[in-house]
Structure 1
Amino acid sequence: MNAFHEGKYDTSLAYYLKRLEENPDDKVLHYNAGTSALKAGRTDLAATHFDRTIRHTEDPEFLAKIWYNRGHLSTQNGQLEDALKAFEQAILLNPGDINSKVMYELVKARLQQQQQEQDQQSDSQDQEKKENREQQQKQQSSEEDKQKDSQQKQEKEDQSRQEESSEKQSEPEESQTRQQETMAEEKEEELTRQQMVNLLDAMREKEKEAMKEILRYRYRKSTIEREKDW
């Protein structure tokens, strides 16, 4: 006990462990060994002796002390939910234990703070994920717009090339059409000349016939006049 109060927890632990070899079912020795191990930082060994103490006693006040120490043990191990349950059990066994009530409220506050930090961290992660999704969507939308613009540009270029090709193909047809029209006009002019030639020839023939008629008429008249003279 003197070593324990002087902070020589390893010395007191060694003493109680040696005593337990002689009295393995002594609840007080297990309790003191667990308390010394807890102070010495040997949490696994402390938990073992506290559990054995619980199995060997039915005294509510003594059990309240054990659960109180179990609460401290769970707190050191970062097991706040287990610590809260242990302090709650100590309060149920000894409602007048102020220390258990104080530790219960402290652990409860730490749990609430831890939960708030987790919620904030979760919210921060959710916000970060949301921002990442929005950024990815913007980037994807930008890439789609670029791809769409490139596609439209390519379509315009293809359309322009097709129009140029159509124009080049239509030029010979238009030239051929103009040639045909020119040939038709020339043919019409040729036909017109031919008609004029034919008309002139017909007129010449008619003139010849008319001259022949005139000559025949003159000849007959001259013959008639000579016959009268006779």
Structure 2
Amino acid sequence: MKTLFYILIGFLFVASGDGREANKAYNEGNYVLADSLFRLALEEDPENSKLYFNLGNALAKQGKVEDAIEAYLNSQEYAESAEDKALAQYNIGTILAKNEDWKPAAHHFRNSLKLNPGDHEAKHNYELAAIKASEEENEQNQDQQNQDQEKEPPTEYAKAMKKRAEQLVAEQRYQEAFNLMESAAANDKTVQPNYNDFMERIKTVSTIDN
């Protein structure tokens, strides 16, 4: 059976001094230093999608999944090209697949493909993550008859989506926040039970706004 590509898309070139130093630290495997330097560079250039993307890689290498997802989402928001937006979605899929969070991983690989349909690695990973997600769902369905009642804690993915939605709410982008949480709930079963009140609240506000 084919296997997934678990390699993160490498860092993107940045011209600024701190950015170059951060790239150097990343190449040398000093991810903690790279993390700090990317953040310093972002203080001077807070809408630089490449810096956010590279920060996401440094965080992912440290195992900081929630923070890495947040950085990639920021990278996508500020990216100008569909290809760069696709890279952010691809790397989110990759770190989720590494954690065996198959359904959200498949979702983000699919998002990457929508933005860059010619990416064969994204297609390969999407197909395999979707198979794994389907197998996992079948197992869960079999086990679920004498189970549940107990609420599972939110996954790293669920927490990252909530954090991102809170940022959108702070910017009064309620409809976007609700859409994000609704999409996350469709891909991660811990979202709705843990954040239902939050979702209902922003849904109400977005309805009023509209």
> Normalising TM by the smaller chain, what interval?
0.5 to 0.7
Name which of 70, 90, 101 aligns with 1:68: 90
Separation in 2, partners of 1:44, 1:110: 22
Gaps of 5+ in 1: 127-230
Q: Deviations over 1:173-226 (max 9, x none)?
A: xxxxxxxxxxxxxxxxxxxxxxxxxxxxxxxxxxxxxxxxxxxxxxxxxxxxxx
In structure 1, the partner of 2:175 is none
Higher relative contact order (Cα pairs below 8 Å, separated by 6+ residues): 2
Q: Which position in structure 2 is the counterpart of 1:39?
A: 61
Asked if 1:17 corresponds to 2:27, the answer is no
Distance 1:6 1:98 in 2: 29
Number of residue pairs matched by the alignment:
125
Question: 1:111 Cα deviation (Å)?
Answer: 0.9
Distance 1:14 1:45 in 2: 13
TM-score, scaled relative to structure 1: 0.49
Matching of residues 117-128 of structure 1 within 5 Å: 117-122=139-144
Please give the alpha-carbon distance, in whole angstroms, between the structure 2 residues aligned to 1:2 and 1:38: 17
CA distance, structure 2, for counterparts of residue 26 and residue 106 of structure 1? 32
CA apart distance, 1:118 = 2.0
- The 5-angstrom pairing of residues 36-185 of structure 1 reads 36-76=58-98, 78-122=100-144
Which structure carries more helix by proportion?
1
Which string of whole-angstrom CA distances, capped at 9 and with x for unpartnered residues, describes residues 37-73 of structure 1? 1111112221222121122123011111011012123
Q: How does 1:174-213 map to 2 (within 5 A)?
A: none
Distance 2:68 2:53 in 1: 9
After superposition, the C-alpha distances for 1:105-148 in whole angstroms (9 at most, x for unaligned) are: 2211211221232244347x59xxxxxxxxxxxxxxxxxxxxxx
Partner of 2:49: 27
Cα RMSD after superposing both structures: 2.2
Task: Say which one has the larger Rg.
Answer: 1
Deviation beyond 6 Å, 4+ runs, structure 1: none
Distance 1:76 1:118 in 2: 20
Whole-Å separation in 2 of the counterparts to 1:22 and 1:30: 13
The residue identity in structure 1 corresponding to 2:61 is K
Aligned-partner residue type, residue 107 of structure 1: A
What secondary structure does 1:51 align onto?
helix
Residues 122 and 52 of structure 1, relative CA distance in 2, 3 Å threshold: closer
Give the Cα separation in 2 of the matches to 1:85 and 1:35.
20
Q: Distance in 1 between matches of 2:82 and 2:64?
A: 26
1:10 Cα deviation from its structure 2 partner: 1.6
Give the share of equivalent positions with the same residue, in percent: 28
Note the C-alpha offset of 1:77: 5.1
Counterpart in 2 of 1:7?
29
